[in-house]
Structure 1
Amino acid sequence: MKYKVLVLDLDGTLTNSKKKITDYTKKILLNLQKKGVHIVLASGRPEYGIWPIAKELELEKYGGYILAFNGGKIVECSTKKTIFERTIEYSYVQEIYEQVKDKKVALLTYENDSLITETPKDFYVEKESFINKMKIKG
């Protein structure tokens, strides 16, 4: 059977504990793409946090895809076009905010290269910023 698509999770699967792809893994994935296999990088990360890995693996050249937000957004790397996107309706966002604003919960959202939050010093907000190399706006 000839494989046409390889879907890979990022953190702890494709990347090591330092959030890096080993040279060996990179070599194999580049060779697979040269043989016509399309690579899909699937993650809970935002699109911005996946692009550095997509570029490292040359997904733009070989026609790979980014599957961000656990499937909430799919981007065709060669064209940078969003081919699928499903977001939370704004009315639900307001409702969620009202439910948790007085609790010790860090809410955040993404805008381009930034995380937007009211709790910029929260441990998980800072970790998300570090992993995805995104600025924090608070």
Structure 2
Amino acid sequence: MDIKLIALDMDGTLLNSEEAVSDFNREKIAQALAKDVHVVLSTGRWLNSCYPYAESLTLSSFLITCNGGEIWTFEKELKERHLLDPERVKLMWELANDMELRTWMISTDRIWYGTAPDNFSDREWLKFGCDSYDGDKLETIVKELSHYDDLELTNSMLTNIEVNPKGVSKASALNNVCKEIGISMDNVMAAGDSLNDIKMIQEAGVGVAMGNAQEAIKNVADYVTVTNNQHGVGKAIEKFVL
């Protein structure tokens, strides 16, 4: 495969359990960059919490944040943004709160952990999330939210639910990044571990599941690498890009 772009999920993929990039992963990314391969962080995180990693890796391409809710250039120019309806965010927050789920919400200016603004309409909302170790509660809220056809539901681990506007995904953002660069998804290697990665793994020329990935991800991937604590990203880059 002629890989011209590497799309990397962060948590559970590029980052190890200490939320760090291993020296091996760092070395293989540097080697890919030296071959003029684009390396794009494609993450559920918002810009402020992923940009320092992009800087430390000396990346210079695009950043896909909030599960595709935003696309940024490395110079922090916003290329694309997709927002949730504030009333819908309020409904989700109240529902999760009533069910005693832990919540987090990302607006364009901050992350709200377990709290909410006095007026939801005062903010622009990128993503809603909630988590619980009670699988029955998660199943219940998924059923409730599935009635709303303007929402895109995924997860970043088995114990949470993440919500974006309908049609927004890492895959849709990655397609747009490819158009911007002038390549196709056939030229992409995408790596991830959770449901919010599944579409980009399916649509990429080479879809890589981490050894620690959810089984659904492994089932659709072209290749299963080792875990995030065993430098799985670097090993996949070495196999398919270098």
Q: How high is the TM-score relative to the length of structure 1?
A: 0.72
Please, which of 85, 90, 100 is the counterpart of residue 104 of structure 1?
Answer: 100
Percent of residue pairs bearing the same amino acid type: 28
Go from structure 1 to structure 2 and tell me whether the alpha carbon gap of 1:114 and 1:90 turns closer, same or farther (over 3 Å shift).
closer
Go from structure 1 to structure 2 and tell me whether the alpha carbon gap of 1:98 and 1:19 turns closer, same or farther (over 3 Å shift).
closer
Please, which of 62, 68, 83 is the counterpart of residue 65 of structure 2?
Answer: 68
1:89 — aligned with what?
85
2:23 and 2:109 map into 1 onto residues whose CA distance is: 27
How much has 1:85 moved relative to structure 2?
1.3
Q: Which stretch shows the higher mean deviation, 97-106 or 21-30? A: 97-106
State whether residues 48 and 113 of structure 1, in contact with CA within 8 Å, keep that contact through their aligned partners in structure 2: no
Q: How high is the TM-score relative to the length of structure 2?
A: 0.43
Q: How does 1:1-138 map to 2 (within 5 A)?
A: 1-59=1-59, 63-77=60-74, 79-110=75-106, 114-119=110-115
2:102 and 2:46 map into 1 onto residues whose CA distance is: 17
2:101 and 2:91 map into 1 onto residues whose CA distance is: 14
How much has 1:113 moved relative to structure 2?
7.3
2:66 and 2:24 map into 1 onto residues whose CA distance is: 27
Q: Secondary structure at the match of 1:109?
A: strand
How much has 1:31 moved relative to structure 2?
1.8
1:130 — aligned with what?
none
Structure 2 runs not aligned, ≥5 long: 116-130, 132-242
Q: Secondary structure at the match of 2:12?
A: coil
Q: Secondary structure at the match of 2:102?
A: coil
2:186 — aligned with what?
none
Go from structure 1 to structure 2 and tell me whether the alpha carbon gap of 1:23 and 1:113 turns closer, same or farther (over 3 Å shift).
farther
Go from structure 1 to structure 2 and tell me whether the alpha carbon gap of 1:53 and 1:88 turns closer, same or farther (over 3 Å shift).
same
* Letter in structure 1 aligned against 2:52: P
Q: Secondary structure at the match of 2:63?
A: strand
2:62 and 2:80 map into 1 onto residues whose CA distance is: 11
- Give the number of equivalent residue pairs: 117
2:14 and 2:48 map into 1 onto residues whose CA distance is: 17
Q: Secondary structure at the match of 2:33?
A: helix
How much has 1:48 moved relative to structure 2?
1.3
